[in-house]
Amino acid sequence: MTNINTLERDILGAVKAAPDEAALETIRVAALGKKGTISELLKTLGSMSADERKINGPLFNGLRDKVTFAIATRKTELGDAALNARLGNEKIDVTLPPRPEPHGSIHPVSQVFDEITTILGELGFAIAEGPDVEFDDYNFTKLNIPPDHPARQMQDTFYLAKQADGSQHILRTHTSPVQVRTMLRQKPPIRIVAPGRTYRVDSDATHSPMFHQFELLVIDEGIHLGHLKWTIEEFCKAFFEVDEVELRARPSFFPFTEPSVEWDLRCDRAVPNQIKFGQGNDWLELGGSGMINPRVLEMCGLDPDVYQGFAFGGGIDRLGMLKYGVPDIRSFFESDLRWLRHYGFAALDMPSLDGGLSR
Ligand code: FA5
């Protein structure tokens, strides 16, 4: 019979010397596998007498347990050694710069949007909103532009499909219907700014079919043109970030205001691609305005003998073009990433009058 001590010494010696896990597995199969030396030894117990089994049983089983334990121990040693070797070889250089990722930025139109609402918010105006798809009545009729009025031709309108009752919605051509919505909903004093998307059948370097306007509306007792002029002056100083501005008023015509005034801002465009405000001999168009036509007040349920008001409407994209030197309005809406990286604003720089509007 195999000398148990010799067998134990040989197997344990081989286990200890196993250079890697593959060699260890070969030793395990040779000793403990189905036809392994220890397994064969254990099989002989069946043909032994009870006395022989009493002696050999514990010996063979003890050998199997010792070898099993030695293999497990060696396996852990080899595993640890392999892991240490890998950790020693694999190095992460934490000083490498991170891979450059594209940075998101605030679109210049959103920036100007925020600048305008920040300035007017600090002047005490509440933000009001209206839908892009508007009633013809609010966009035109209640603004004193009845059907077939020639003023409807001033704004080329996108019409939606006719409803079953014959009525027709439109894409609002200006933010002025928010005036109507506000007056119908709220009694004076009213002081709102209504920024938003507007639509006209129009497209060239300074006209976009979808563009953005903002509307100012102030209604109370005793409101006059002086309030309108002061508001526009203060707005321009804050928006263009200058201490002084000079405004020029030109008579104009809007069916919903009487009198109607367009405002120009003195500027200097002598140096190409540069514009300076508050000086020079050029004039920059700011937008339309006027005192609310008494007929509009009446149609919106307010008594014109008690209340007066002013309104102003300007183009947000146009102001952005002027302030940030964008030559073509269409580039705002082309989603060109290189353009957006150049003209975009840092995402966390919120405009504020104290901290600065644009940095
Ligand atoms: C109006 O839309 C009037 N609702 C403004 C108003 C409000 C007058 C309150 C009186 C009282 P106008 O059509 O001029 O007015 O447009 C106002 C501004 O919108 C323009 O000065 C211009 O800056 C901008 N704008 C007009 N059409 C376009 C367009 N297609 N693309 C970009 N900006 C435009």
User: Which one of 142, 318, 321 would you pick to mutate in the ligand 1 pocket, going by the greatest count of ligand atoms within 8 A of its CB?
Assistant: 318
Q: Are residues 65 and 211 in the same domain?
A: no
215 neighbors 175 (Cβ within 8 angstroms): yes
Length of the chain: 359
Q: Are residues 180 and 49 in the same domain?
A: no
Taking alpha carbons only, the member of 270, 234, 233, 259 closest to residue 248 is 233
Within a domain: 293: yes
Given this model, what pLDDT does residue 101 score? 67
What is the number of alpha carbons within 13 Å of residue 114 lying toward its C-beta?
A: 17
Within a domain: 354: no
3-class SS of residue 229 = helix
Q: What is the pTM of this model?
A: 0.72
3-class SS of residue 264 = strand
Note down the domain range covering 24.
2-89
Give the number of the atom of ligand 1 that is nearest the alpha carbon of residue 179. 9
Q: Are residues 137 and 206 in the same domain?
A: yes
What residues does 290 pair with on adjacent strands?
260, 311
Integer Cα distance of 84 and 93 in angstroms: 18
- Tell me how far the alpha carbon of residue 213 lies from the centroid of ligand 1, in angstroms: 7
Helix, strand, coil content of the chain in percent (nearest 5): 45, 25, 35
Tokens of 76: 């852990």
Give the number of the atom of ligand 1 that is nearest the alpha carbon of residue 207. 31
Domain count, the chain: 2
264 neighbors 250 (Cβ within 8 angstroms): yes
- Tell me how far the alpha carbon of residue 231 lies from the centroid of ligand 1, in angstroms: 18
Within a domain: 101: no
User: If phi over 0 gives left and psi between -120 and 50 gives alpha, with beta otherwise, what is residue 275?
Assistant: beta
Within a domain: 245: yes
Integer Cα distance of 249 and 286 in angstroms: 10
Supply the CATH number for residue 323's domain: 3.30.930.10
Q: Which residue's alpha carbon is at the smallest distance from atom 31 of ligand 1?
A: 207
Q: Are residues 242 and 336 in the same domain?
A: yes
Q: Are residues 249 and 147 in the same domain?
A: yes
Task: Answer positive or negative: Cα dihedral of 87, 90, 95, 100.
Answer: negative
Given this model, what pLDDT does residue 359 score? 58
Give the number of the atom of ligand 1 that is nearest the alpha carbon of residue 174. 2
269 neighbors 180 (Cβ within 8 angstroms): no
359 residues of the chain, pLDDT tens digit each? 558 999 999 999 999 999 999 999 999 999 999 999 999 999 999 999 999 999 999 999 999 999 999 999 999 999 999 999 999 898 887 887 777 766 788 999 999 999 999 999 999 999 999 999 999 999 999 999 988 887 777 678 999 998 888 888 999 999 999 999 999 999 999 999 999 999 999 888 889 999 999 999 999 999 999 999 999 999 999 999 999 999 999 999 999 999 999 999 998 888 877 788 888 899 988 999 999 999 999 999 999 999 999 999 999 999 999 888 888 999 999 999 899 988 998 877 777 776 667 65
Within a domain: 81: yes
User: Which one of 158, 204, 213 would you pick to mutate in the ligand 1 pocket, going by the greatest count of ligand atoms within 8 A of its CB?
Assistant: 213
Q: Which residue's alpha carbon is at the smallest distance from atom 7 of ligand 1?
A: 313
Q: Are residues 82 and 125 in the same domain?
A: no
Q: Are residues 58 and 156 in the same domain?
A: no
Within a domain: 98: no
The residue written with tokens 């007929």 in the block is 295
Q: How far apart are the first and last CA of the chain?
A: 93
Within a domain: 199: yes
129 neighbors 181 (Cβ within 8 angstroms): no
Q: Are residues 194 and 290 in the same domain?
A: yes
The residue written with tokens 């975009």 in the block is 344
- Tell me how far the alpha carbon of residue 212 lies from the centroid of ligand 1, in angstroms: 9
Within a domain: 351: no
Q: Are residues 285 and 156 in the same domain?
A: yes
Residues with CB under 6 A from ligand 1: 174, 176, 200, 202, 207-208, 211, 213, 215, 254, 257, 285, 287-290, 311-315, 317-318, 329
Q: Are residues 190 and 295 in the same domain?
A: yes
Residue finishing a domain among 89, 123, 143: 89
Give the number of the atom of ligand 1 that is nearest the alpha carbon of residue 176. 4
Q: Are residues 76 and 117 in the same domain?
A: no
Q: Are residues 203 and 282 in the same domain?
A: yes
